[in-house]
Structures are given as structure tokens and as C-alpha cells.
Structure 1
Amino acid sequence: MRRITSIRDFYLIYLGVLSLLVACGGEPSQPEEKVVLTEVKIDLQDSITRKILDAQDRFQIENILPFFSNPDPTYRYLAARAFASLKDPAGLDSLIAHLQDPIREVRKGAAFALGQIGDPRAETPLISAFQAEDSIDANNELNALILEAVGKCGTQNNLSLLSQVTTYLDSDHFLLLGQARAIFRYMLRGIVNPSGTERMVNLLANPDIPDEVRTVACHYLARADIDLQDHADLLTLTYSNLEESDLKNTMPLVLAKCKTREANNLLQSSIGSSQDFRLKCNALRAMGRSNFRSFRSTIQKALYDRNIAVSSTAAEMILEYGDANYWRTYLNLSLSNFPWQVKITLLHAVSKLIPPGNAMFSNMNYDFLRQRINSTSNPYEKAAAIQALAEDPGKYSLILGIKKNTEDAVVRTAAIQALKKIAVSKQFRRLSASSQKEIIDALVEALESGDVGMVEQASAILDLDLNAYGYDTKNIIGRAEAQLQIPRDMEALISLHRKKAELEGRIYDHKEDLQFTHAVEWKTLEAVGENPRAKITTNRGSFTVRLYPLHTPGTVANFIDLANLNYCANKPIHRVVPGFVIQGGCNRGDGYGSLDYNIRSEFPLLYYDAPGYIGMASAGSHTESAQWFVTQSATPHLDGNYTLFGKVEEGMDVIYNTEVGDIIQQISIL
């Protein structure tokens, strides 16, 4: 006899008995047969679907909640998905109730949304919703989402419990993935323990489980603040046995925490043997972080790598971790015929590391930087050189002159960034009182300029005692606010309002400043159908992206509208982080550009689990506008926080070869 194992079982039996009683009494009747809907199928042409999505777009929580009781599971699913994007605890009770929804897809949506909200009150209901295993593994898809959601909202105690589960089989793909993601999400919240780390080591080391699971484990080990010496033998063996892959490309960051001779040898050999620039870049980062002195010669040799991503990463390691005893070496290296990204970074390293008492060489280095600034037409080269000047506060007058004599947003923002760096440095007090005042005056002027990039950079001085320079911090914030255009300048406003809240003794939430400014353009989506593609052409070549309108309709519609307006034509790729992302769409070129509207973040059940995903850049949830990025590797720390709206289908070589300052020529919708 089947046992009653849940409230739902009791409820179903109760309904069955009730129906028998009704059937036995009164005259027979022929009630109208109701169609029970069991499938979630999103149709963007459907008026109710649009109503839910429009309510989500407008933050109209009260208009979303009623759809949790709709008989159509598609609408219940969309209501849950809306709360995954809005992350509003007002949906908590409804989402918890729908962990018991009769339709599995709705239960999955509810579990994911509860994780996104991150409220600890959801922890116990999530655990209670864990389903028994079934023959087609469908319940385990839900269970994986439940585990991940617990990782986003759960307590330390449950991290210990789920980390100790080792009974999952190698074939239990979803359960292993859910467990790995749960431990990873705990880590992103700053919660780690030895059992979680040990479990992730074992998942990474097991070649019989899917790479999707091992990748999450690898990123946990790479990002967590942990020591892996006790696991060094297993991890070095794992690395040695891996074929070249996105998984292996991340592993040098794990080896750096092993701190053994074998791990160091593997790092060193990876520079010469691999053809994948991402592996080389991460190996260089690992060397710099773990023991720069031991790897100094290897890092210096990498300056000559033909791939600019590798050579520039080597230079960055010298700048960040370089040994001051070798400043002369770096000065001599800077004289070589390197690309500007390498040369300027080496000159920056000299500026940072050269000790007092070397005025002749310091002036020589300064002259080299000044010559590069004056001779180049590349704003990104100028900006990099300006940052190098900031290592010597005495060079502030040159930076001030550059700022006053340029209209280029990239250069102007870089100059204010450099002055800010001087103002908050320990060396600032060594300047004369008049020099200090001159710098502070320039930064206050920047704060009140209405220029989003300069305001955001200069806002760091609001943490200083400005009374000493004749300024009242609250008054400065008020004048700065008045000059900004909202929502275009939201990034700067967030910095100002965060400081304002601090002065008033309260916690700031940037959602206080969000406004509805841009509706979803349904006609745009009608014109392109369910599977639109975009061809993005740059001076390096073209790549084609499959867009996801069913998952992120507002974002896709906005992207297509901007493409049809030729918005991105002749705009730069303003940011490149080798092995991570390339980023474009900024109408200023300095990363602070936006339009006179924002769109809402959309966080459906999608993951940055491989290279080639396109997502929206933002200054926080719901501040997106025109800037987008494409990933060069798996980036699981972006999941659920940056709108993912498509994937590259062709042309990843263009993504890998892109350099900062490359130009977007056209975006065509196919």
C-alpha cells in the first residue's frame, strides 16, 4: 500500500474521496470538462504574457502577484521569473507556495527566484521541496536548482551538510551540478569551510563527471580565499592530465594556491607549451600572485609573446607585483620595441618602483611618458600614461594641464582618476599646502561638472576631510547632484547617494533612485521572430550572436533597436580583460557612457558557463542601457547579476583577438 508522504499526497486523496461522494449523491450530471494546462510555453505575441513582462519592466509588483494563481502554468512561471529579475522579497510567500506547484517547470522557476531574492526565510522551504529521484532525471533538474538556491540564501550549517554529501554517482549530473553551484554561491557570499573546499577539489579531480560541474568547482577554488597545500598532489595530477580546454585555462589560478615545487613547475611550463592565450594569461597571474620573485625571469620573457593579451598581462604582473630592486631592468625593457600596452605599463612600473635619490632616471622616465602623451593620437594610450604619472604626486601640474586642454572623455576621465589617486595616497601630505589645495579644488570642480566619468572618479575624495580645504561635503554632494542628468548619469549618482546615506547614518540601496524610463518595444520583437541573430563587425572581423528574446525580451529589443539606429557604428571596444571579457557600446569611450534611459535587468535561467556569451554591463541591477560585453571564458560569478541575452555562434577568433580601442563598424540584425 502506498504511504502518504506529503501534504500534497493527502490533498490528492482528499479530492478523490470528495469526488466519489459527489458522484454517489443526487442525479447524475454532465459538468463541462475543463482543460488542465500542463505545459509552460512562452509566446511573446500573447497579450497576457506581455502584461506580465510589462509589469516586471515597470516594477509593478502588485500586478505580478495575481498571476501566481492563474490556471495557466506559463503565467505562473513568468510571475516567478519576474521575481528572479526583480529580487523583491514581496514575492517570497507566493514563490514558497509554488515550490509545490503541480507543474515542474513552475517549481523550478520558483526555486531559482527564491535563490535570486536571497532571503534566509526561504532556506527551510527549499530544503523541504527537494524531490525524490525519478527515472528520467527530471526531478533532479529541480533539485539542482534547489541546491543552488540554498547556496544563495542558506546558513553556514547547511553548507556543512550539503558539502558532506558524497553519495551522488558520477552520472548524477544535475545533483552534482547543483551541489557545486551551491558551494560556489556560498563562497561568493563569503561563506566557506574545509568540507566545501574538499568536495570541490574532489569534483574537479574526477575525470568521469561532466566538465560543466568541474568548471564550477575550478572557479570556486580559483576565487575562494583558501590555502590548497593539503590538496596539492591531487590538483597537480589533475592539471597534468587535462587536455587543453576552458577548464584547464582556469586551473593555473588554482595551482597558485598549492605552493609546491611541482605546482610551480607546471605553471612555468604552461607558458611555453600552451598555444591558448587564456591559459598563459592565467598562468602569469598565478605566478604574480603566488611568488613573483621566483617567477620573475619567466614573466619578463612573456613580455615578448606575440599575443598582445599575454605580453600585456606579463607587464601588468610586473606593475602589480614587481620587485623594486629591478626598476633599472624594467626601465631598460621599456626601451624595447613593444606595443604601447606593454611599453606604457613598464614605464608605469618604473614610476611606481623607482626609489628616492634617482632623480636623473626618474626624470628620464617622466620624459618618456610625456613624449608618449604628446605624440600619440590613441586616447587609451594617453590614459594609461596619465595613470603612470600619478605615481609621483609632484607631477600633478602636468596632469592638471592635460585635463584642461582636452575634450576627449577618455583622457579627461583618466586625468581626474590620476588626481584622485594622488589625493587619496599616503604621499599626498608630502605636498605643500598650496599644492594640496590646487588638487582638491580641481577634484571638487570635477564633482560639480556634471560629467559622469569625472564625477564618479572624483567622488572618492568625499571620504576625505574636505573642511580643511574650505569645503562642506554635503554641500558639494548637493551641487554635484544638481548637475547630473538622470537616468543617464546613474553611475555617478549612485556614488554620491551612497556617501550621502553614510553621512545621514543610513544604508543606501540604489533601487531608491530607479525610474521607469523605457518600455519594451514589442513591435521590434514582432519583426525579428523568436530566433534573431546579430552580426557585429569590427576592424578585426565579424562575429555572429544568437539572441534570446524568449528569455530576455526587453534587453534583446533594446539591442536590436540600437543596432537598427546604427548606434554602435564607430564606437570603440573600450575595455578588454584578457581571458575574461571584451566590452563595447559606450558613447563616451571611457566606460561611463549611457543613454537617456535605463532598461531593467533580466535574469532568467541562463548561465555564463562557457566562452562566448553576450551580456549587459551595468552599475548595478536595472541600470543597463547600451553597453554590452562578450565573455572569453566561463564566468560563473556573473550568473544572476548581469543580463545574459545571447551567445556567439561564429567568430570567436575575433573575440579572442580584440584589443582595447578596436572599432565597432556595424551591427546588423539577421
Structure 2
Amino acid sequence: MKVLQFCIVIIFIGFISSCFPPVEESAKTLDYKLEDETVQKILQYQDERKTDSLLSYFTSTEPKYKLLASKAFASIKDSNAIPGLISLLSDENEIVRASAAFSLGQIGSSKAEAALIKAFIAVDSIGPYLNTNAKILEAIGKCGTDSSLVLISNIKSYSAKDILLVRAQMSAFFHFAKRDKFNVNSLEQVFRILENPNYDPEAKLIAAHYLMRFKELNISNYFDRLKKLCVEEKNSEIRMALVGALSKIPNPQTLVTLDELYSRGLDVRVLSNLFKGLNQSFKTGQANSFALRAVQNPSMHVAIPAANYLLDNASVDIIEELKTLADQGSLPWQVKSIVYASLLKKIPHYMVLTRDGYVYRLKDLIGKSKSTYEKAAYIKALSEIPKELPYIVGLYSDQANSFENITIAEAIKKNVERQDFVLTFPGKFNPIYNQLTKYFTDNVLRGDQGVMAIMSELFLKDRQLVEKYVRPDSLLKMGKEKLNLPRDIETWNAVEKLLVERYQKGKFYPKKIEYNHPVDWKKVAILKDSIFIKINTDKGEINAVLITKNAATTVMNFVQLIKEDFFKGKIFHRVVPNFVVQAGCPRGDGYGSLDYTIRTEISELNFLATGMLGMASAGNDTESCQFFITHSPTPHLDGNYTVFGKVIGGLEVLLTLSQGDKIIDIKLL
């Protein structure tokens, strides 16, 4: 019945729209300048999250002010704005209508579903409702129910010429998939687009990413079609998503195909994605020989995922091969450390001398490590042996580097969570308990944000004897007093979650940061629309452009930090193969921030391209100084992270960066 009603509405609205074409405003009337005081006022209301003040502009006679106010709710995501945004779906200006649809999708409430469906003009594929229709399809993917997925899956009339609508349909499927909503018809539609060479590459890219998220339905029946696409696709960005999807199919022919693709010497990001789904589809080591070969690839985008597959899935029968790899002097520490971890994890208990020999060598590597991150990687590898926990905890000192220290904390967490922990350390007076108590107490009393966050996660469950010794409830209550807001909001929320859920048996709600660090709009007003920067690293130069109007306060903050030389010497503390590099942390471990936060700014600029600059965060409106750059398209980040720039030169340098590499400086050009 709902499908029938939807079709009747679409036909009726299509008839009405054909009789009464909308009045279209000139695009020039939507152009705005940051020095405009009203524009600044609207952006200030957005920055302060003042919904009521923004809603007052929905009736403005100036389209540009309506547009800016409607855009604000893509970032604020306040459901109280839904009625007002719905009213803008019938605005006489196409761009205002499309913006309202985008923001309704960002809010993500099914309360907007019916209005979005009603606003869709089915007969318009080239006229004044085209952009609105496209944004409506995408928005329904973000907030629609299963019945809307069925409706959109049944749209088969879009040809290769309907570029915006095809992209929007694929985006709708992708956003439904992000919410774990799938169906067979959408899968067939995706293959229809991917298999036709006439369709738009961007639509195909979104479709390929949709396949990577497919969970609920078995895609094994599509193996031959997907294999053909993987082999024949020439666009590396589309192909890497396709092979990521193929790797999830538990078919013996999958490994044959992946091995064939590996032998072609493709883009390293494509090769990296060969391992994307192997942990899901080949959990008992069927891909061991393939992974052993790839571990020796000169690119860490390939070698690290291969090594991680071995860590999770290697079987006892490849111990000799792992030993050979561990003995290789040519393996970089980022890979060697994972190989050591795999070896220690798989050596049988009866091979005591062999295991002890590699433990000794690993401790030697820890002592000889040339960098904090190398040392931490070997500590992490050693944590595969539970009985070595006292040695690992003994590496701690109050002078220890913060990254080493959180690695020690993670090693403690990993081993305390093991079911055999009490068997490894028998007796309620075992020295390990006093050692752990001292470690946690020292770190809490000195207010170590990283250790406190990890500790809070550890004790979300009863840890028996460890808990009786450490007394995390009272210890972390003291620790919370040492945290500074808004700087330590991530740790504060982790501690509060433990105290509320575990010890008070209540429901935890993350703390929202009070408004701070107001924007100096006079400084924002003089920013250029495009600001060019050079990121000098110890691996080479990366050139990027900051896009002011899409994220004005973020760009202002980033420019100010550049002027203050804040980024000089900062480390790329997080590097995930074929995903992101991340830097800007004052601590160098991901838990650091400045004494202020800025607000999340979501725009239609997205992560559907390589080399996008985004702000790292611990949730909405917690951004400060950490940023990341993407190695490849990452559309699953869209709508949750501020995009504020794009790499325009030096992508080859970006792909060579590894954990521990350094920013020499960032310069404004």
C-alpha cells in the first residue's frame, strides 16, 4: 500500500510540476562574501549551534541567507530543524531546495522520509528539479526505511546520460548499506551500472564501495561477474573497491583471482585491498601462502595487511616460513614486528627453546630500537606471550614516551582480558597484581589521558583480582579531576562511561563541550577562497589547497596553527595502509589536543577522492589540531568528519609515509 501511495504522489507531483514550472533565481544571487556581516552572523549562529536563530533566516527574502542557514544543519544535525527544512524543499530556488534535502539527510531522522519522497519530482531528469531530486535520493539513503530502499531499488529507468541521478541512486544504496540495509534488487542495480562502460566513473566508484559493505546477503552468486570486473577495470580507485569486495567471498577461486591480480603489479592501493576481506572469508589460513609472498612486497601498503592476515590466521604448519621471514634483515620494522607477533602466537607450547629464543631476540630489538614507534611495535609483538607481561610493565617509567606508554597499557589490557590470565599468574598474591596497581596508580595520578582511556575500557567488565587490587572506581574518580576540558574530552567521556555504566548502573550520555574558542570573523573575512600550502615531511613535499567556504572556521584554525609553527616536528603517529595518515597530536599518540576545540563543519565536499584533508575528532565538535589525509576514496567518512582541503601535488610522497615519519614544517604559499 505504501509503495502504491508513493507512486501516486510521484505521478501527481510530476503532473503539477509540468504545468507550473518553478521560478528560478540566478546563481549570482546565492554568491556570498565572508565579509558580509549577515553572513558572519549566520556562520556564528552555526558555530554556536543556535537552531532558533538560524531558523529565522528560512523566511529571508535573500536566497543566499536561506541557503547558508539551511547548510548549517548539515553540521548541527538538530531534529528540531526538520519542519523548517521541509518547508525549504518547495523553495523557488533549486540550490536552496537541494541544500535543505542534504541537511535533512545529515540529520538522519526517518521523520523526514515522507516529506523527501513527496518533494521528489519523478518526471524531471534535466530541468530545475534535477539537483533537488539527486539530493533527495541521497538523503533518503541516510534516513529512509526499508520500504524506501525497495522503491529506490526498483528505479531502472536512469540511463548513462542521467549522471547526477545515477550517482545519487548509488549514493542512496551506499548510505543504506552504512546502516546495514541491503536487498537483492539494489545489488543487481549496482552490477548493471558497473558492467556498462557508458556509465559515469563516479557513480561506479560509489557502487563499488557499496559492494565492499555488503554483509547481510550472500554475494557468492555474483562471483563470476565481480571477478570479471576486477580483472577488466582500468580505473585504480574503482578497482581497489571491487577487489576489496571480491576478497570477502569465501570461494577457492577467490584466492586464484587475487593471486593473479597480485602478479600484475597493479597500483599498490589495489594490492593492499586484496587483503581487505580475507580475515572475513578465509579465517583458517587458506590464504597463508599468498600472504607469505605479499609480506615481502616493498610497499608497506601491501606488506602490512599481508602480515596482519598471518597474525590473525596463520597456522602451525607455516612456522618455518615465518622463522625465515623473521630472520630477514631487509624487512622494515613495521612489518617485521607483526611477523614476530605471528611467530610467537603460533609456536606450539612444547617448542619452549624456539619460543624463548625469539623472545630473547625481540627483547634485543626493543633495546636497540631507533625510534619510539619502532620500540612500541616490538613491545606490542612481545605482548603475544602472556608471561612476558611483567617485563613489558617493567619498561614503564614516568619519563617514558607517551606512545610507548599507551602500548604498554594496551598490552596490559590485552592480557588481562585473556581467559587464561589467572592461570598464567596464579595466586592472589602474585607479584603481577602489585605491579599493575602501581602502573595504573602512577599514570592516573599524573593524569595520563591515554592510559586512563585504555584503563576505562578495560574495566567495563569485572576483572576479578586485578580489579580488587587496582580499585578503578575510586582511582579513576580521582583521575577525572586531573583532566582538563575541553582538551581531554575523549578521556573524560571514557572514564565517565565506566563510572556511570559499570559502577552506578546508569545510562551514559557523552558530555557535550561548552562553546569555546570564538571565531574572529575579521580574520576569516580576509581569507582567500583557496589557500595553498606545502607540507614538508622527511619523505618529501606534499602540496595541498585549503577550501575556505566549505569549512571557514576549520581553515582559519589550521592557517593560524601554521603561522604559529605548531606543526613543526609533529609526527605521523597513525598510518593505516590505503586509508589515512594522521598527524598534529601534541603527545604523538592520538590522545593529545589543544586547550580549545572547534566545531565540526559538514558540507557537500566529501571524501570521494584521493588525498582529501579531514579533521580528526573524538565525536562531533571535538576537533582541535589533529588532521588526516586519505590515501584513497573513503566515502564511509562522509558526513561525520570535516573536509577542509585536498592534495594537489605529492601523492607519491603521501603513499610513502609511515608511522613515525615527521612533518618538518607546513608553509603557506
Question: Taking structure 1 as the reference length, what is the TM-score of the superposition?
Answer: 0.91
Map 1:139-288 to 2 at 5 A. 139-225=129-215, 226-288=217-279
Contact 1:423–1:439 at 8 Å: present in 2 too? Answer: no
Q: Does 1:574 align with 2:570?
A: no
| Pairwise CA distance, 1:515 | 1.6
Instruction: Name which of structure 1's ranges 621-630 and 351-360 shifts more when overlaid on structure 2.
Output: 351-360
Once the two structures are superposed, residues 192-223 of structure 1 have per-residue CA deviations (whole angstroms, 9 ceiling, x without a partner) of: 22222232233323222111111111111112
| Pairwise CA distance, 1:334 | 0.3
Contact 1:615–1:629 at 8 Å: present in 2 too? Answer: yes
Q: Does 1:438 align with 2:457?
A: no
* Amino acid in the other structure paired with 1:298: F
Query: What's the secondary structure of 2:655's corresponding residue?
Result: helix
Q: Does 1:463 align with 2:463?
A: no
CA distance in 1, matches of 2:352, 2:520: 61
Query: What's the secondary structure of 1:294's corresponding residue?
Result: coil
* Amino acid in the other structure paired with 1:403: Y
Contact 2:125–2:162 at 8 Å: present in 1 too? Answer: no
Query: What's the secondary structure of 2:548's corresponding residue?
Result: coil
* Alignment match, 1:31: none
* Alignment match, 1:351: 344
1:7–1:310: structure 2 CA closer, same or farther, 3 Å change rule?
closer
Instruction: Name which of structure 1's ranges 128-137 and 562-571 shifts more when overlaid on structure 2.
Output: 128-137
* Alignment match, 2:520: 521
* Alignment match, 1:98: 88
1:362–1:262: structure 2 CA closer, same or farther, 3 Å change rule?
closer
Q: Does 1:475 align with 2:482?
A: no
Contact 2:457–2:498 at 8 Å: present in 1 too? Answer: no
Query: What's the secondary structure of 1:544's corresponding residue?
Result: strand
* Amino acid in the other structure paired with 1:494: N
1:143–1:501: structure 2 CA closer, same or farther, 3 Å change rule?
farther
| Pairwise CA distance, 1:6 | 5.8
CA distance in 2, matches of 1:147, 1:439: 57
| Pairwise CA distance, 1:445 | 4.7
Q: Does 1:386 align with 2:383?
A: no
* Amino acid in the other structure paired with 2:581: I
1:405–1:385: structure 2 CA closer, same or farther, 3 Å change rule?
farther
CA distance in 1, matches of 2:121, 2:315: 56
Q: Does 1:555 align with 2:547?
A: no
Map 1:223-622 to 2 at 5 A. 223-225=213-215, 226-291=217-282, 293-337=285-329, 338-404=331-397, 406-430=399-423, 431-432=425-426, 433=428, 434-435=430-431, 437-438=433-434, 440-441=436-437, 442-443=439-440, 445-465=442-462, 468=465, 469=468, 474-503=473-502, 504=504, 506-510=506-510, 512-622=511-621
Query: What's the secondary structure of 1:267's corresponding residue?
Result: helix
| Pairwise CA distance, 1:50 | 0.7
1:517–1:115: structure 2 CA closer, same or farther, 3 Å change rule?
same
Contact 2:248–2:280 at 8 Å: present in 1 too? Answer: no
| Pairwise CA distance, 1:542 | 1.0
Once the two structures are superposed, residues 440-470 of structure 1 have per-residue CA deviations (whole angstroms, 9 ceiling, x without a partner) of: 5233553454111111111122213267515
Contact 1:285–1:317 at 8 Å: present in 2 too? Answer: no
| Pairwise CA distance, 1:638 | 0.4
Number of equivalenced pairs: 646
* Amino acid in the other structure paired with 1:459: S
| Pairwise CA distance, 1:46 | 0.7
* Amino acid in the other structure paired with 2:421: F
Contact 1:38–1:73 at 8 Å: present in 2 too? Answer: no
Structure 2 portions without partners, runs of 5+: 1-10
Query: What's the secondary structure of 2:395's corresponding residue?
Result: helix
1:8–1:136: structure 2 CA closer, same or farther, 3 Å change rule?
closer
Once the two structures are superposed, residues 296-334 of structure 1 have per-residue CA deviations (whole angstroms, 9 ceiling, x without a partner) of: 222112222222322222212211221233234312320
| Pairwise CA distance, 1:38 | 7.6
Contact 1:455–1:492 at 8 Å: present in 2 too? Answer: yes
CA distance in 1, matches of 2:154, 2:436: 55
Query: What's the secondary structure of 2:458's corresponding residue?
Result: helix
Query: What's the secondary structure of 1:304's corresponding residue?
Result: coil
Once the two structures are superposed, residues 389-440 of structure 1 have per-residue CA deviations (whole angstroms, 9 ceiling, x without a partner) of: 2222211111111122642111111111111111112222222233553365
1:274–1:7: structure 2 CA closer, same or farther, 3 Å change rule?
closer
Instruction: Name which of structure 1's ranges 636-645 and 414-423 shifts more when overlaid on structure 2.
Output: 414-423
| Pairwise CA distance, 1:273 | 0.8
| Pairwise CA distance, 1:260 | 3.9
Contact 1:573–1:582 at 8 Å: present in 2 too? Answer: yes
Contact 1:447–1:459 at 8 Å: present in 2 too? Answer: no
* Alignment match, 2:630: 631
Contact 1:303–1:314 at 8 Å: present in 2 too? Answer: yes
Query: What's the secondary structure of 1:558's corresponding residue?
Result: helix
Instruction: Name which of structure 1's ranges 220-229 and 481-490 shifts more when overlaid on structure 2.
Output: 220-229
Contact 1:545–1:648 at 8 Å: present in 2 too? Answer: yes
CA distance in 1, matches of 2:123, 2:445: 61
Identity of aligned residues (%): 32
Structure 1 portions without partners, runs of 5+: 17-34
| Pairwise CA distance, 1:381 | 1.1
1:210–1:311: structure 2 CA closer, same or farther, 3 Å change rule?
same
| Pairwise CA distance, 1:47 | 0.6
| Pairwise CA distance, 1:354 | 2.0
Contact 1:38–1:103 at 8 Å: present in 2 too? Answer: no
CA distance in 2, matches of 1:631, 1:78: 28
* Alignment match, 1:124: 114
Query: What's the secondary structure of 1:426's corresponding residue?
Result: coil
CA distance in 1, matches of 2:27, 2:658: 51
Contact 2:271–2:302 at 8 Å: present in 1 too? Answer: yes
1:44–1:508: structure 2 CA closer, same or farther, 3 Å change rule?
farther
| Pairwise CA distance, 1:280 | 1.0
Contact 2:125–2:165 at 8 Å: present in 1 too? Answer: no
CA distance in 2, matches of 1:203, 1:445: 58
Q: CA RMSD in A?
A: 2.5
* Amino acid in the other structure paired with 2:82: L
Instruction: Name which of structure 1's ranges 211-220 and 519-528 shifts more when overlaid on structure 2.
Output: 519-528
CA distance in 2, matches of 1:521, 1:623: 19
CA distance in 2, matches of 1:594, 1:145: 35
CA distance in 2, matches of 1:543, 1:502: 45
CA distance in 2, matches of 1:606, 1:437: 51
Residue number among 79, 82, 89 corresponding to 2:72 in the alignment: 82
Once the two structures are superposed, residues 531-550 of structure 1 have per-residue CA deviations (whole angstroms, 9 ceiling, x without a partner) of: 21111110111111111111
| Pairwise CA distance, 1:507 | 4.2
CA distance in 2, matches of 1:244, 1:361: 47
| Pairwise CA distance, 1:139 | 2.1
Contact 1:571–1:663 at 8 Å: present in 2 too? Answer: yes
1:524–1:113: structure 2 CA closer, same or farther, 3 Å change rule?
same
* Amino acid in the other structure paired with 2:461: L
Instruction: Name which of structure 1's ranges 414-423 and 465-474 shifts more when overlaid on structure 2.
Output: 465-474
